[in-house]
Every structure is written in C-alpha cells, then in structure tokens.
A and B are shown apart, each in its own frame.
Chain A
Amino acid sequence: MSLLEVQDLSVVYEPSDAPVTHAVRDVSFTLERGEFVGLVGESGSGKSTLGFALTRLSKPPARISSGRILFDGADVAALEDEELRAQRRGGFAMVLQSGMNALNPVRTVGHHFDDVFAAHGHVPRERRAARARELVEKVELAPTVLGRYPGELSGGMRQRVSIALALALEPQLMVFDEPTTALDVLVQHAVMGTIRELQASEGFTALLISHDLGVVLESTSRVMVMHEGVVVEDAPSRDVLRDPQDDYTKMLLSHYGDPRAEVVELPGLAARGGELVTSSGTAAERSARGSGGSPGAGRRATAPVVVEGVSKVYPPPRRGAAPVTALDDVSMRLEPGQSLALVGASGSGKSTLAQLITGVVRPTAGTVSVGDVRVDRLRRRGLRELRRDVQMVFQDPYAALNPLHTVEYTLTRPVVNYTGRSRREARARVLELLDTVGLTPVEQFAAKLPHQLSGGQRQRVVIARALASDPQIIVADEPVSMLDVSLRAGVLALLEDLRAQHGVSMLYITHDLLSARVVTDHILVLHDGRVVERGETSQVLRFPQDPYTVELLDAVPQPSRAEGAA
C-alpha cells in the first residue's frame, strides 16, 4: 500500500467578498514509502494549497471541495480533531515556507522541543533534554541553540531548527514547503544538503514543494509539475530533465542554464563570450524593443561611475560588540553604457555599495564619483540633482509601489519633478514610458493600481519609474529575484535592452550568477566587504580563480546534476 494516495482532489477558495477560485483541480497521485518527490510550480499554481490540504492544515476560506486523501490507507478528512492531533506524531509533518517566522519569538528553542514532547508524550520526561540535543545535532546545529531565542539565530539556523522540530515528531511523511526560499544562496545550498542527507538516513517519505525546478531536480527522484491547479507532469526526475512531455515543463526547463558553460542561452536572451546579443524572445520583450527608438527615452550615459578605496564601517549593533565593516577598501569603475554585475551572498556588502553610489549612505573612507560629481560630498540639493542621473530598481516590486496610487500617478511624479514637463506633456511621457517597458495597451495600464498587476508587471512599472528622470545610470538591486522564473527573462531582456538601445549604464546587483552571465559584461565578486575577483563576466564565471566564486557557482541549482543523483 502506498503511504499517501490522493484521489481527484480539488481545493477551492471561497472568500465571502470575492469570487471562488479553484486552486487545485482533480489532482491524483501517490507517494510510495521512502520516496523523495518534488512538487514544482510558479506562484499561484496551487502547490502550497495542495501541501496544506495534504497535512490538513487548510483553513477557511480554503476548502477541499472533492476527492480523498488516503494516508496509510485512512481517509485524512475523516479524522476527528484529537485523532488528527495525535497522529501528527508518527504521521505527516510540515516544514513551512518562511522558516524565519515559524518559531515563537518569545520562547527559547528548547521550549519549542519541550512543547512538542509534552504534546505527544512519546519521549519520557528524563530523556527529553538529551533527545532535543540529538535532534539539533542531526540538523548540524550546536546544542547551545536550545537555550537561545529565535531572534538570536540566523535565517538558516531557524530553518534548521524547524526541520529538527518536525523530525522530533518522527514522521512518516515530511512536506517541505519552499524550505529554502527566503534563505541566502549558500545557506540554501547547505540546508538542502542537510534535507537530502536526513531523508536518506531517517528514511522518511518527503515531498519537496518549490518554485525552483533546479533545486527540485537536484534532490528528488520524481517530480510533479503543477500549473494552474493541475499536475501537468509526473515523472522520474531524470526523464523530466531529458525528455519533458508538457510544454509548461519545457518552458520552465528552458530557463535553467549553467553560468559556467561556454555559451549560455535563455529564452529571449543569449550571451556569447563577452558580447551579448538578444534573440527573438517573448512578446513583451519584442514590444519593448519595438518602441526602443522613441525619442526622449533615456540619455546616452557619458559619465563613468568611479569608486576608489571605499570603506564603510557601521557602529556596533550593541554595546560591547565590534563595529561592522560592510565594505573594506573597494574600488570599481562603471564605464558609460556598460553593465557591471555585483555578486555575492547576503552580507557581502553589495547593497551597501549600491547605497554609496546612489548617495543614500556616505563612505567612512574613500571617494565615490559620478562623472565630475563627488557623490560622497553631496548635500540635499546636490543629491536631488544626482537622482536625476542615478536611479534605483528595487528588489521587491510588491513593496516598491505605493498601493494607493495608480500607475499613472506613480510615474507622473518623477516626470514632473525631474523633467519639468507640464501636466499634459507629462502624461504623454508616462504613456511613452509604459510603452518602453512593454506594458501595453498603455492607457489601460496607466489607470491600474499595483494590486491589479502581476509581479512581473509591477517590476516593469518600477523600471519605468526609474526611467522617468531620463537617468544615465540604473542601479538594479536583485530586480528579478522575487519574480517567477518565466517572468525573469522578460524583465532581464528589458533591462538589457535599455542599455543596448538607450546607452544607459547598469549596475546589476545579484546573487544569481546565471542572470549576471546573460546581462552583464563585467563582474565584481564581493565577499565580506572585499572584492575577491573581478573581470569580464564570461571569463570570471567560466574560469573562476577565487574559492568563494567557485562556492557561489556550486550553489547554483543545476538540473543536470540530477542525473548523478537519480
């Protein structure tokens, strides 16, 4: 008998004030004992809804409208509350998406284990402390974490603690819902490694829910691909990689590549050597290029960005601690019209460097200049002038737009402030900007509010806003990391197009080496505030010299590695 059998399962959302959505439609599959299966889909595909339904954590307005879930032969839906609670030990456990917030901030890690043991009584009282130590050691943490509060642990450590807590239940089935999404690349790589080892050593059945086909293919032996509530593909990982059947799977796969390869191609984007050419791509990207020649859209950059010997030291976070050195003697140069990648894990100082260049933060030592302007010496008025030339594109398109203002309002403000156009001219310019970023029909998009747009469309609005002042330099801080894979290429192509067509210089900050490879000419690898490697992007990524660069490259999810794993 299979451990889990799902028959024609449908889940609907029935909010009282909005139309019903069918999140999961007629899904059927089985999980055999000891299997490690992946469930992949983009946002809104219903994968998390399915995960919550399987572990009976669905809450209103979500409702299982039809179908059955048989766990170990018994219908999960038929369990009484107390039966359900009891079988959470030795039954199914779940590790949540944002492991960062899965722990109660006012209780120590040790208390969390005590609560679990007390709830199920499966570990004798005198064994509990020892068992908790054993469990945290299994997830490669020191036993001292038991005395600490969640706020004192890093994101990766917290996610490891929640995995250990789930393990404390001795489950037969573990559902991992995006266990590493909020984590830094290197940490993500390490945590996934731990999950794989635990699955092998403890022998539980695992379902790994993720938006990242690369991560899933690397770890699992079988993959289910979900799209709009339907499982469109269910096959062994190796087969999915070699011979995907569904078009959607093919599309997802096409967005993966090895940044170390000689030639890297993504749909709509291709890079050869150091030179970049854009091939025919998505519709949005084509429309972006079609309007590329429109007058007034951007100025050719003439001013280089020069950073020399810059250090930034922050005062100690609390008394007695050492000051934090975010950047240590960094120099770099961004030539007009060039694109430069700034890569590194979180805490490497890449965002601090961006803040120095945009004049948000002043360096402790060294100089920052844009053309003839010394950014590190600017005062209010000068900074305003600087922002006409240097604009930011932010990481989180959901937080970067004021939810109360229409797209038109958001874009009109900088146009009026920076270019001194009249209202009517400004409106024409706003429509032109929307056309440039491929949001057509422009009239319709201008009237929309942020919540009516998808993540990718919002990011295009953010880019349009950055373009509103006709900047020479765009600083893009992880512009695609929050977007679904299928949307990333379009946004990247747009950024690349702005540079190629309009001659805007671009500083591209990312941890994603693959995207750095396809949109930048030069690269700077930062580690603990120091530049560890620099050069032409293709050269550095193909023949990395520094061990840290190698480590970053190894952390890039590689579907092709699944061949070895499977």
Chain B
Amino acid sequence: MRYFLRRLGLFALTAWAAITLNFLLPRLMPGSPADAAIARLSQNGPVDAATRAAVEAQLGVPTGSVLSQYWDYLGNVVTLDFGVSYTFFPSTVASLVGSALPFTLVLVGLVTVAAFVIGTLVGVLAAWRRGTRLDALPTLTGSFLAAFPYFWTALLLLFFLGYTFRLFPTSGAYSPYTTPGLNGPFLADAVAHAVLPAVTILLTSLGGWILGMRNAMIGTLGEDYVTFAEANGLRSRTVALRYAARNAILPNLTGFGLALGGVVGGSLLVEQVFAYPGVGYLLYNAVTNQDYPLMQALFLMITLSVLVANFVVDTLYGILDPRTRR
C-alpha cells in the first residue's frame, strides 16, 4: 500500500512540474504571438499603432505579475479553459480537443493494448515452441513487418484495401450522413473507418512485442525455477505461463508504458495519412498554423498522458513483481 501511495505522490509532483513548465516555457521564449503576427504584417509595409493595438487586443497580451498570471493559469487548467483556437476560431480549444480525443483514445489506445496483448501471447508461444515452425513464422513475419515504415504500410493498405478493392473507407472517422452518438449506424460506420488505421498500427507494432517477449521468455526458460518447476511435474501450461512468462513480461511492461504514453501524441503520421480527425491530426494542424493556444493545450495533454501511463505501469509492476514493493 505504501508503495502505491508513494507512487501516487510522485505522480502528483511530476504532474505539477509538467503543468508549471508548460506555463513557464512560452514565457521564457523571446517575443510573443502578437510580435510574430506584427512581424509578418510588417513585411508588407509599416504597421501603425492602431493595427498593433488591434492585434494585441485580439491575441491578448499578459497583464499583471507573473505570479498572478500563474494563478490564473492554474485555475484555467483545472477548469479546462485553454482559450480560443486561432485556426478554428471561434471554437474553444477545449471543445476541439474534446471532439478529437475520443477517436484517438479508442483507435490508438485499443490498438496499442491489443498489439501488446497479442504480441506478448504470440511471443510466449514462439519461445515455448522455439525452433519449430510456431516460432519461426511469427518471429520472421513480425520482424519483417516491423521493418516497414509506418506510413508506407499505411499507403499500401490504403491503395489495395481502400482504392483497388474498395473494402474500407479511405479517410475520416465517420461518414457525413451519420449522426455522431451512440447509435448503431454511426458505430458500424466508425468501426469501418477505423479498420485501416488500426491494422496499420497493429501490423507495425506487433513485431516488436513478439520479439521482445520471445527473447525475454527464452531467457527465463533457462532459469532454475523453470527447470525446478518441470522437475516437480507441473503442467506445461503452468510452467509456461506462471513461471516463465510471468517473469519475462516484467521488462516488457516498461516498453508498454512508453507505448501507452505515446498513444495521445504518437499517432500523428497514421492520422495524417488517413485524415483521421484525432489528436495527432489536430496537433499537426495546430503546428502548421502556429495556433499557440491549441499547441499549448495539446502539449500539456501529451505530457500528462505519458505521466498517467507511467503511473499505471508502475502500479502494475508493483502488483506483478513483489520485489519492487520494498
């Protein structure tokens, strides 16, 4: 219990540090969004004071001491008030992120978890039957697929399954004729749209999990406790899962934590290729349009999601490995 409380405390502390850094960094940078806008305008000719005032009024210029700004900022973070997007004016940042987040979380999150679970199970099987076809096939295909660049797999799938055979829609998260919400037609349509990006992520990340688990498990299979379990006549399923795999999965959990943390921010390429309206797509738009409020909110979210994922994995680790609890 103390272990978990300590982890929780550490989590709260790092989260606070991340939020504060997110506040400080833009203020440490020279210039301001208003300066940038004015600089762009001034290329076309001198900018008069009225224009400058108008730009500053539109973008907002910080007032008050840094401390009071910080206090306001903390309040805004808590109430999820991240301001108004420049690009998608007058939508608020919160509403933009709120509409993009579910798609990314469901698509990338589920697929990442699925890839980890499937890859780990296949890895266990491959190690248990090492040297046989059950080992060679997944290991070879896994490393083959993992060697493909993300977007290349995506383009291939898009071309063959999307255009040539027209099995799946090629872009977007749902068709315009459905109404988003918890209704049958919409959900079926959303799933059809998610298939291609999901398969892309699954194919490219599966190989890593298979190889990682297989190699770790081959290591634990050589451990004395596995030999001793066999000598005691335990069923091979018990030996494989509770003795060898249970120990082999521990180092892979760390990798899983990183992958989970990357769910929110790391799907940029795939979302871009499939024009999937998730967080990655939004981030790309925010960066290309220099949409500072949107960027700031997204960066904060990405940081926080990495922290949450790490906390989850640390907790899991504590449950699975009694040695870390001390």
Contact = CB atoms under 8 A, between A and B. Distances in A.
Given A119-B238, A151-B322, A104 B225 contact: yes
A166 B323 contact: no
A203 B96 CA distance: 77
Given A115-B242, A149-B323, A318-B326, A101 B232 contact: no
A93 B232 contact: yes
A57 B227 contact: yes
Interface stretch (A82-90, A381-389, A476-484): A82-90
Interface string A50-89: 0000010100000000000000000000000100111111
Interface in A95-128: 96-98, 101-107, 115-116, 118-120
B247 A105 contact: yes
Count chain A CB atoms within 10 A of each CB in B223, B224, B243 and give the residue with the most: B224
Interface string B202-237: 000000000000000000000111011111111110
B229 A166 contact: no
Nearest to A150: B225
Interface of A: 55, 57, 81, 84-89, 93-94, 96-98, 101-107, 115-116, 118-120, 149, 151, 162, 165-166, 168-169, 318
A247 to B, nearest CB: 35
Given A106-B322, A115-B234, A119-B234, 19 more contacts: A85-B236, A88-B232, A89-B233, A96-B228, A102-B228, A103-B228, A104-B225, A104-B243, A105-B247, A105-B322, A115-B238, A115-B242, A118-B238, A120-B233, A149-B322, A166-B232, A168-B232, A169-B232, A169-B233
Interface of B: 223-225, 227-236, 238, 242-243, 246-247, 250, 320-323, 326
B225 A165 contact: no
A116 B231 contact: no
22 contacts: A55-B231, A57-B227, A57-B230, A85-B233, A85-B234, A87-B233, A89-B233, A96-B227, A96-B231, A101-B224, A102-B228, A104-B243, A105-B321, A106-B323, A115-B234, A119-B233, A119-B238, A149-B322, A151-B323, A162-B228, A168-B232, A169-B232
A308 B229 CA distance: 51
A103 B247 CA distance: 12
Contacts, number: 84
Contacts of B231: 55, 57, 88, 93-94, 96, 166
A338 to B, nearest CB: 42
Contacts of B247: 104-106
Nearest to A319: B2
Nearest to A107: B242
Contacts of A165: 228, 232
Nearest to B321: A106
A118 B239 CA distance: 12
B113 to A, nearest CB: 22
A357 to B, nearest CB: 32
A151 B238 CA distance: 21
